[in-house]
């Protein structure tokens, strides 16, 4: 166990699967008390149990966090159980389908904005009064596609661009209240979304996204959680309004750069965390 978040209380949205599971386990390992928050169908209870089994402290919250009432209940639970809130991680999101815009349905668009943006609005609004008391911080999930845009999922990239601008505005506004706000912008990560078997990408898109990294591979959920950890900790006391790419160099790649990466770069690092739900996303393909 480390101590980089010793004494801190954190809510992690979308904590039941993928990157969120890694953030919850990483934060608990570093001493935080964690509220693992997700949709009722998410394995948030399992993640809590796994954290407790390794000596960490966590509780579950189940509910649709795009509702302000649910977001408020989630914050109330953290404060009731642990007495305060220091960190909000807005990680919940969805990647509903890959389609040309002409075929992208209105229903998928509404679903995307609800899960990718309204969750960020509702949770940030609900958490701010508590974060102002503790001089805490918010880290929100963006994406390299929120900077570059993404073909065949145009509204997804746009929803992430919203999160980037939302965070910069909030950082500027909340500095006078003592709250820092930042974004983590992942590239292709080894979760359910980037595998044709578990997400909406076909084999061509799957190959394209990894080749478009200069490291020639997907990132691991833990590699992303490491950057969330830094930004959420007091080590990042001079960082606010920043968008941190964790994208294997996608933003600077020209063409299929990943093919040229050294074998050592292409190899995923050995995971320290025991992740059980990294490919269990159920919102990536819209039901
Ligand atoms: N995987 C990638 O390649 C990638 C790349 C860039 C950005 N991201 C971002 O990282 C975040 C996590 O992605 P992931 O790959 O781990 O996906 P994931 O589907 O495994 O995790 C997202 C979680 O959020 C939950 N969620 C969605 N809407 C919710 C809501 N309204 N209320 C409560 N919970 C909700 C889902 O049920 C799921 O458990 C997302 O915001 C995503 O946009 C991921």
Q: pLDDT digits over 37-62, tens only? A: 999 999 999 999 999 999 999 999 99
Q: Which two tokens stand for residue 130?
A: 């508590």
Maximum Cα interatomic distance, the chain, rounded to a whole number of Å: 52
73-86 pLDDT, tens digit each: 999 999 999 999 99
The pLDDT of 216-232, averaged and rounded, is: 98
Ligand 1 is surrounded, with C-beta below 6 A, by 13-14, 16-20, 38-39, 42, 64-66, 91-94, 115, 119, 141, 143, 186, 188-189, 191-194, 281, 283-284
Give yes or no for residue 286 having a pLDDT over 70.
no
Ligand 1 center from residue 97 Cα (angstroms)? 13
How many CA atoms lie less than 13 Å away from 228 in the CB half-sphere?
Answer: 34
Least confident of 35-49, 119-133, 218-232, 261-275: 261-275
What pLDDT is attached to residue 122?
A: 99
Mean pLDDT value across residues 101-119: 96
Res. 281 pLDDT band, cuts 50 70 90 = confident
- What pTM, to 2 d.p., does this model score? 0.97
pLDDT of 285 over the 80 cut:
no
Residue from 93, 118, 120 to probe ligand 1 pocket by mutation (most atoms less than 8 Å from CB): 93
Measured from the Cβ of residue 176, the count of other Cβ atoms closer than 10 Å reads 8
Name every residue whose Cβ is closer than 8 Å to that of residue 253 and which is 6 or more positions away in sequence.
Answer: 212, 213, 214
CA angle 137, 142, 145 (to 5 degrees): 165
At 115 the three-state DSSP class reads: helix
| H helical segments located in the chain | 18-29, 44-53, 68-82, 106-113, 119-134, 145-148, 154-174, 203-211, 221-232, 263-266
Residue 282 has pLDDT above 90, yes or no: no
Asked if 15 contacts 21 with a C-beta cutoff of 8 angstroms, the reply is: yes
Q: Provide the 3-class DSSP secondary structure of residue 249.
A: coil
pLDDT band at 226 (very low <50, low <70, confident <90, very high): very high
Distance 49 CA to ligand 1 centre (A): 21
Catalytic residue at 156? yes
Q: Which CATH class is domain 9-189+219-248?
A: alpha beta
Give the distance (Å) from ligand 1 centre to CA of residue 91: 6
Q: pLDDT-derived band of residue 96, with 50, 70 and 90 as boundaries?
A: confident
| Residue 235 CA, ligand 1 centroid: distance in Å | 26
| Average pLDDT over every residue of 230-251 | 98
Helix, strand, or coil (residue 281):
coil
Q: Which two tokens stand for residue 116?
A: 């990718």
Q: What is the pLDDT of residue 283?
A: 75
Q: Which of the listed residues 11, 18, 166, 244 should we mutate to test ligand 1's pocket, taking the one with most ligand atoms within 8 A of CB? A: 18
Sheet holding 57-62, edge to edge: 57-62, 33-38, 9-13, 87-90, 137-141, 180-186, 243-246
Mean pLDDT of the chain: 96
- pLDDT surpasses 70 at 89: yes
């Amino acid at each position: 166990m480390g101590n980089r978040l010793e004494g801190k209380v954190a809510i992690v949205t979308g904590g039941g699967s993928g990157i969120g599971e890694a953030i919850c386990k990483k934060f608990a390992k570093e001493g935080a008390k964690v509220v693992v928050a997700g949709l009722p169908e998410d394995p948030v209870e399992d993640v809590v149990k796994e954290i407790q089994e390794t000596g960490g402290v966590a509780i579950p919250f189940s509910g649709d966090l795009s509702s302000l009432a649910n977001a408020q209940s989630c914050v109330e639970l953290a404060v009731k159980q642990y007495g305060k809130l220091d960190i909000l991680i807005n990680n919940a999101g969805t990647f509903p389908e890959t389609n040309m815009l002409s075929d992208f349905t209105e229903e998928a668009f509404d679903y995307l904005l609800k899960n990718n943006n309204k969750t960020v609005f509702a949770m940030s609004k609900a958490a701010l009064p508590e974060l102002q008391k503790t001089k805490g911080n918010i880290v929100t999930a963006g994406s390299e596609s929120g900077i570059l845009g993404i073909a065949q999922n145009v509204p997804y990239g746009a929803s992430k661009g919203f999160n980037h601008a939302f965070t910069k505005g909030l950082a500027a506004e909340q500095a006078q209240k003592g709250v820092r706000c930042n974004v983590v912008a992942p590239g292709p990560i080894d979760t359910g979304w980037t595998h044709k078997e578990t997400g909406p990408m076909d084999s061509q898109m799957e190959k394209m996204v990894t080749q478009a990294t200069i490291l020639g591979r997907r990132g691991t959920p833990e590699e992303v959680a490491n950057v969330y950890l830094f930004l959420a900790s007091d080590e990042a006391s001079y960082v606010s309004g920043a968008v941190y790419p964790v994208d294997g160099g996608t933003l600077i790649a020209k063409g299929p750069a990943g093919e040229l990466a050294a074998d050592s770069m292409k190899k995923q690092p050995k995971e320290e965390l025991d992740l059980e739900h990294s490919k269990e996303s159920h919102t990536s393909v819209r039901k």
